[in-house]
Structure 1
Amino acid sequence: MTGAPLVQQPSGARAWLLSPEPASRWQARLGRFYLGWRAFSKNPLAVLGLGVVLLLILVAIFADLIAPYSPIIGGNLRTERLLPPSAAHWFGTDDLARDIFSRVVYGSRTTLWVVMLVAIIATPIGLAMGTVAGYLGGWVDTVLMRITDIFLAFPRLILALAFVAALGPGIDNAIIAIAITSWPPYARIARAETLTIRNSDFIAAVKLQGASTPRIILGHVVPLCLSSLIVRVTLDMAGIILTAAGLGFLGLGAQPPMPEWGAMVATGRNYLIDQWWVAAMPGAAIFVVSLGFNLLGDGLRDVLDPKAAK
């Protein structure tokens, strides 16, 4: 007599995470995180992107320990200028006899600083504009969305160039300019999500309980918009890095002798034929980090997007 095949039940911590009846909100949240991580880890490219981003963070944190030379002070201009990659200088040296590997390592701090500050500044602005416009509607929606359309009408790099030209060159002004040009897509996404939420039954129930409009937006609408916004912000990181590198390439971003990948590429273009490594190494860093953020964003979209096919 053959019996039905036995299904192995999860045990221990896994069983606690996958419990169909969680005992607390904390357990339910950890369970959702675990399921999301399982789905995310099945995508090898997304895991590769996460690894690249984590490597960028670690390199930026431990740059002092990783870099073998000073990123600013060069060596002997007679004997160490424009040296090719070797055991002593892994990425070669530039026109001022500075170690390119050390400058790329320290440049990761600038890149991470730009990415973090732009996300911190632009995301709340876009989220606030989109949720308020979508929830209130009417003339508020019209005014806020027309302002958004004005910003979207110009290419991001061109608009950032205009703001940096007005504010003056420098990494701080470049961050402000990039943040000012980055929020409109987030506002569009937040508005679209809010339009699908504002007429829901649970919003009507909260209104009947006497909740004010700010409380409804902050406590109920904003949390439901965050997942889509996180995906978009992650995917936009590559564009932010390229915009920052473009400003640095044009001399409007980080100023010498500060190590910044775009400025390093601009320096290396003068030696592109014979000393290709001067421009190629920071260019490869820009490519790898941008690709990592794109892969990570694609993986997060598959996990966090409720409308994606499972």
Structure 2
Amino acid sequence: MSAGPRPAPRSGLRDWLLAEAPSSRRQAALGSAYRTWSQLLRNPLAVAGGLIVLGLVLVAAFAPWIAPDTPYGQSLSERLMPPSAEHWMGTDELGRDILSRVIWGARITLMIVVLVAVISAPLGLLVGAVAGYAGGWVDKVLMGITDIFLSMPKLILALAFVAALGPGIENAVIAIAITSWPAYARIARAETLTFAQAEFIQAVRLSGAGHMRIVTRHVIPLCLSSTIIRVTLDMAGIILTAAGLGFLGLGAQPPLPEWGAMISRGRTFILDQWWVATMPGFAIILVSLGFCLLGDGLRDALDPKGRT
């Protein structure tokens, strides 16, 4: 009996993605994404960081089903109970389950990180690209403003803005975003200066494209990879800054289960009931480590010199 037709080899798609001469922009974009993904998977630390970040997203998304209790339910008869089978992370001074509050706090942390990145990264990218492309007095003015923000510590500057705007999670997001964009502007400007006078930019200009079209369609896309890497690496700093504002009472306000605010309330019991402040502190350390590992992996994967 004949064995029948053999299935087509699965390497066909891989060969198409890794073609040295792509036949379309879509093939080139998919091939670049495949190379980046393959490089990322070969880095075990980056994979570990990605799993931590994925875990944060899943915990935040499914908090109502994962948390064993509500984050606001009080039971004074169970206050300051140590970790046990009933309360895996113990309870706080009001008898609230710390594990539930840490899980719900993941939502607040993820929201802060996403909002700050969405606000600050595009702003810094646009400022840096315009400054590097335009040059002259435009570059001097924009980079002068950028240097003013960079000359002050982030946390101190964020404290000043929150003090002016008032405490609250929304104002904390605005304050952190205002202090975060200059780093992206500097990176985008440095990237833009390397190819602002390149032949392909000159060709686009000679074809009749306006300056804004060149910046938005050609300059900014070339700066995206380095900006994405910096944003991922800065996630840990954003989390720590948000936790610092919450610790000082200027971020998320009670009874919201924000990790920094939980540490602030637990510092009173740190010597005897260590778990009240330690558990949210572990969450901050773990998530910050995950973003750092993922950012390092993306930096290696998106580096053209490291690709084979």
Query: TM-score interval w.r.t. the shorter chain?
Result: over 0.9
2:97 paired residue number: 99
| Aligned equivalent of 1:122 | 120
Indicate the percent of aligned positions where both proteins have the same amino acid: 67
Q: For the Cα contact (< 8 Å) 2:39–2:307, is it kept in 1?
A: no
2:234 is the alignment partner of 1:255: no
**Residue 169 (structure 1) aligns with:** 167
TM-score relative to the length of structure 2: 0.95
| C-alpha displacement of 1:307 | 5.2
Q: Which residue of 2 aligns with 1:5?
A: none
Q: What's the counterpart of residue 53 of structure 1?
A: 53
Distance in 1 separating the partners of 2:130 and 2:47 = 35
Task: Quote the residue 1:281 is aligned against.
Answer: 279
**1:171 and 1:229, CA in 2 relative to 1: closer, same or farther beyond 3 A?**
same
Alignment of 1:1-310 (within 5 A): 11-75=11-75, 77-78=76-77, 80-306=78-304
Superposed CA deviations along residues 154-191 of structure 1, whole A, max 9, x for unmatched, are 10000000000000000000000000000000000000
Shift of 1:22: 3.2
Residue type of the alignment partner of 1:85:
P
What amino acid maps onto 2:56 in structure 1?
Answer: L
Q: Secondary structure at the match of 2:304?
A: coil
| Pair 1:306–1:16, CA change in 2 (3 A) | closer
CA distance in 2, matches of 1:212, 1:68: 57
1:296 maps to amino acid: L
Offset, 1:12? 3.2
Number of equivalent positions = 300
Question: C-alpha separation between the residues in 2 aligned to 1:136 and 1:19?
Answer: 36
Is the CA contact (8 Å cut-off) linking 2:71 and 2:101 kept in structure 1?
Answer: yes
| Contact 2:17–2:27 (CA under 8 A) maintained in structure 1 | yes
Query: Do 2:301 and 2:307's aligned partners in 1 also have CA atoms closer than 8 Å?
Result: no
- State the 1:293 CA deviation: 0.3
The 8 Å contact of residues 116 and 176 in structure 2, kept in 1 or not, is answered as yes
Q: TM-score, normalised by structure 1?
A: 0.94
Structure 1 runs (4+) deviating above 6 angstroms are none
Question: Using the alignment, how far apart are the partners of 2:150 and 2:294 within structure 1?
Answer: 25
In structure 1, what is the Cα distance between the partners aligned to 2:238 and 2:91? 27
Give the stretch that moved more between structures: 238-247 or 22-31. Answer: 22-31
Q: CA deviation at 1:10?
A: 6.9
Gaps of 5+ in 1: 1-8
Distance in 1 of aligned mates of 2:167 and 2:274? 27
Unpaired segments ≥5 residues, structure 2? 1-8
